[in-house]
Structure 1
Amino acid sequence: MKIGILQTGHAPDEVKGELGDYATMFARLLQGHGFDYETFNVVDNEFPTSVDAADGWLITGSKHGVYEDHDWIAPLESFIRDVKASGKPMIGVCFGHQIIAQALGGQVEKFDGGWIAGPQSYRFGGDEVVLNAWHQDQVITPPEGAKVLASNDSCANAALLYGDTILTVQPHPEFTTRMMEGLLQHRAPGVLPETMIQQITDQLGQPQNDHGFAHKMAAFFKGNANE
């Protein structure tokens, strides 16, 4: 099964040499599930010719906001609507979660509580799932018909399900502890309060549910939405 990765941003240069770009991180997360990949740098206006260029689609995170005035935002939203109409499976993570919501009629804003970063616990039904997060924006109003799958006290719409073909999630299952260390070193200073940086640093290394969520993503791509 071929997964088309729509890359909407690039990892910081300081970590890219060691960890790869965002598409590489997802390929590593989903390793062993039998997928092939093709990456389209939509952030650089590199788009697929059609939704049939892959069997399923994955939209990455980004430093950009979905409401910003970039010339690739509108074509990406149009492509998202085409994928939805096609019935092909699609997964969005962080920015991907937000741009899918916006493209389908939802609302995304900066969270008035500020940045959410580091390991976060989310309620997925009756389960507590811990994943790394790194965002200030979030889906404030989900699109009509979207089902909320996960939430916590600071992110009411942390995961959304659209029928049985689109799954989106606000946190980053692909962000390892090493990636978080890189973000804290190279992107956090001057953006996050020093006390917050230290708090997140102290929390790194705690058990995560990234592999379990990778299994869920793989099952979703293969048509097993209920796993």
Structure 2
Amino acid sequence: MHPVAIFRHSPTEGPGYFAIFLEQQGIPWKLIALDEGAAVPATIDGFSGLCFMGGPMSVNDPLPWIEPVCALIREAAGKNVPVIGHCLGGQLMSKALGGQVTRNPVKEIGWSGAHGEDNAIARHWLGDFAGKSGTVFQWHGETFSIPTGATRLLANGYCANQMFVLGPHLGMQCHVEMTPEMIATWCEQWADEAIAVADLPSAQTPDAMLAEIPAKLPVMRQLSERLYSVWIKGLAR
């Protein structure tokens, strides 16, 4: 089968557990490192799916690759080629599909809870997590709107739109792809940002995030495996 294209926008925001999951399923993938100047492919031909990772920039920034990426997402949506986005990736999907990305009322940083919607589409994607609370990881200050025709899957009190689906496409504001190594790197790289807002109930200090990895990561991994398992069913084999 053709590989899944994984777009990286920042050196430390790689595919994490998403790539591990693909490899466990025998699904090939190709990294497209936009942060290193890689060109956005002119077409989705040759790829079975598209995955977009996080990044510290905004989709509203005047970056040269934003519109080509959005065009690629729209092409994939038109051809029913599955797209998945994590944080910035989910915001790119919303923008490409007609939504808007705006400042969130508060920054969300660290481990948090989120509640699954309870409807037929949510039950398909979330399984046992539909209608229940789950654990996710956050690091964002902006939020996306739900594109027309899409369905919200996950929400919490600090950011209403945590996740949406549109056909085979899954856009997420939260980070379900985290590994212990990624969390440690982010806590070191962006410690000042986290500490500056750590008095908010929506944020944690780096020490708190690291201390909760043993308890929180296995719980989140169950959610990510469920989501990724449903998503890969849309890939052309």
TM-score of the pair, normalised by structure 1: 0.84
Q: Percent identity?
A: 23
CA separation of 1:76 and 1:119: change in aligned 2, threshold 3 A: same
* CA RMSD, 1 decimal: 2.1
Counterpart in the other structure of 2:96: 103
1:29/1:174 contact within 8 Å kept = no
Q: Which runs of 5+ in 1 are unaligned?
A: 12-20
| Distance across 2 between alignment mates of 1:190 and 1:83 | 35
Q: After the TM superposition, which residues 39-118 of structure 1 pair with which residues of structure 2 at under 5 Å, given as runs?
A: 39-43=31-35, 44-113=37-106, 115-118=107-110
| Distance across 1 between alignment mates of 2:171 and 2:100 | 14
Per-residue deviation, 1:222 = 1.6
Q: Of 214, 225, 235, which aligns to 1:205?
A: 214
CA separation of 1:191 and 1:122: change in aligned 2, threshold 3 A: closer
CA separation of 1:223 and 1:190: change in aligned 2, threshold 3 A: closer
SS of the aligned residue for 1:75 comes to helix
CA separation of 1:30 and 1:128: change in aligned 2, threshold 3 A: farther
- Measured against aligned partners, the alpha-carbon deviations of 1:42-70 in whole angstroms (never above 9, x if no partner) come to 34242224212211111111111111110
Per-residue deviation, 1:202 = 4.7
CA separation of 1:129 and 1:31: change in aligned 2, threshold 3 A: farther
The reply on whether 1:176 has 2:185 as its aligned counterpart is: no
The reply on whether 1:189 has 2:192 as its aligned counterpart is: yes
Q: Which runs of 5+ in 2 are unaligned?
A: 118-130
Counterpart in the other structure of 1:219: 230
- Measured against aligned partners, the alpha-carbon deviations of 1:124-174 in whole angstroms (never above 9, x if no partner) come to 2312221211111111x2221111111000110100011x22111111111
1:123/1:152 contact within 8 Å kept = yes
2:90/2:171 contact within 8 Å kept = yes
Greater Cα shift, 26-35 or 146-155: 26-35
Per-residue deviation, 1:26 = 2.7
| Distance across 2 between alignment mates of 1:211 and 1:219 | 13
2:81/2:234 contact within 8 Å kept = no
Counterpart in the other structure of 2:143: 138
SS of the aligned residue for 1:209 comes to helix
1:7/1:42 contact within 8 Å kept = yes
Per-residue deviation, 1:211 = 3.9
Per-residue deviation, 1:104 = 1.3
Counterpart in the other structure of 1:16: none
1:150/1:159 contact within 8 Å kept = yes
SS of the aligned residue for 1:79 comes to helix
Q: Which amino acid aligns with 2:30?
A: E
Per-residue deviation, 1:190 = 4.7
Per-residue deviation, 1:29 = 4.1
Greater Cα shift, 200-209 or 172-181: 200-209
Per-residue deviation, 1:200 = 3.6
The reply on whether 1:34 has 2:30 as its aligned counterpart is: no
1:30/1:214 contact within 8 Å kept = no
Equivalences, count: 212
- Structure 1 stretches of 4+ moved >6 Å: none
